[in-house]
Amino acid sequence: MSRMKGPAIFLAQFAGHEAPFNKLDSITRWAGELGYKGVQIPTWEAGLIDLEKAAESKDYCDEIQGICANNGIAITELSTHLQGQLVAVHPAYDEQFDGFAPAAVHGNPKARQEWAVQQLLLAARASQNLGLNAHATFSGALLWHTFYPWPARPDGLVETGFRELADRWLPILNAFDDAGVDLCYEIHPGEDLHDGVTFERFLEATGNHARCNILYDPSHFVLQQLDYIQFIDFYHERIKMFHVKDAEFNPNGRSGVYGGYQGWTDRAGRFRSLGDGQVDFSRIFSQFARYGFEGWAVLEWECCLKHPEDGAREGVDFINRHIIRTTERAFDDFAGGSSDEASNRRILGLD
């Protein structure tokens, strides 16, 4: 039997001020009526979860799980993408990333980072109280402004950057270890962990920490022109979460990987709703079935063209069609016979 669970949906792109997207009860009812079995909850959405309360109160966690269960929904994971980004921010991005944090820490990078770290520590305890085994986040970035080496990077710059990044994350990783939860970094442009090589650098800098794991999202690899199928071969033991998100890359004589500072609709690489892009999900789901992936298949909608509610509605059937119920026997078992050592030796002409 397949070990993958789903379909589930990440609520970050749907949560808002209007019903049914403004409250946990109504948004999970909406998701359940569409056919989803799970939701991934963004912890910065106060209408969906009180992160501090979830970290402190098992009773509160039981309450919100009950709300979800009444709508046929499980909580798959929590997300701290925005808070994780703030664990490591190069000063060039301070003003833009201040919007991810409360107004009280705007203009104060040190206080903002301390707030972000505290948020991650709360998320570890909240995940434990909810009985979850994985958590989604971003790594942040100290080196991203140097990803294209012009001018040339000074010797040792990358090593220093990854040592500092690991130093900032190790106390958080240890807290997740204490909670029994895998911390899964979404491998994503704009983060210092944006491909396999950078994940390996970070993993080594953390001493190969057992809780340092991966949220796999093929859409970001299409935009980088990275082999997203072989990535699973390389890192399947560390892939603990899966965002099912589509993308396409259509370069032309005017624009390529870097996009020419254009908006998403006009870029060569852009995100699409499931089935509208170029990602080969049949091969991805086959890879996960091969390696026995046990996590959730979670729709993340970020299409630059289609309405989000249409993308959510279509995503249920798409994921259901692709989840593989693995076979318990070989297709040619009917043609086999009984075997023992003596018959095997006779077949080989050894007796």
pLDDT (tens digit, 9 = 90+) per residue, 134-171? 999 999 999 999 999 999 999 999 999 999 999 999 99
Q: Domain total for the chain?
A: 1
Mean pLDDT of 22-38: 98
Q: What are the angstrom distances between the C-alpha of 339 and each of 26, 61, 329, 345? A: 59, 54, 17, 10
Mean pLDDT of 97-118: 98
Give the confidence band of 2 by pLDDT, cuts at 50, 70, 90. Answer: low
pLDDT (tens digit, 9 = 90+) per residue, 68-82? 999 999 999 999 999
In the predicted model, is pLDDT for residue 191 greater than 70?
yes
Q: Tell me what pLDDT residue 337 has.
A: 73
Write down the mean pLDDT value for the chain.
96
Give the confidence band of 250 by pLDDT, cuts at 50, 70, 90. Answer: very high
* Residue from 57, 81, 65 nearest 28 by CA: 65
The dihedral built from the CA positions of residue 329, 216, 252 and 278, taken in this order, carries a sign that is positive
C-alpha–C-alpha distance, residues 25 and 203, integer Å: 38
In the predicted model, is pLDDT for residue 23 greater than 60?
yes
C-alpha–C-alpha distance, residues 335 and 345, integer Å: 20
Mean pLDDT of 273-297: 97
Mean pLDDT of 321-346: 83
Mean pLDDT of 23-51: 98
Contact partners, residue 158, CB within 8 Å, separation at least 6: 143, 146, 201
Total-model pTM: 0.95
197: containing domain: 5-347
Characterise 319 by phi-psi region: left (phi > 0), alpha (psi -120 to 50), beta (else). Answer: alpha
Q: Residue 167 maps to which CATH number?
A: 3.20.20.150
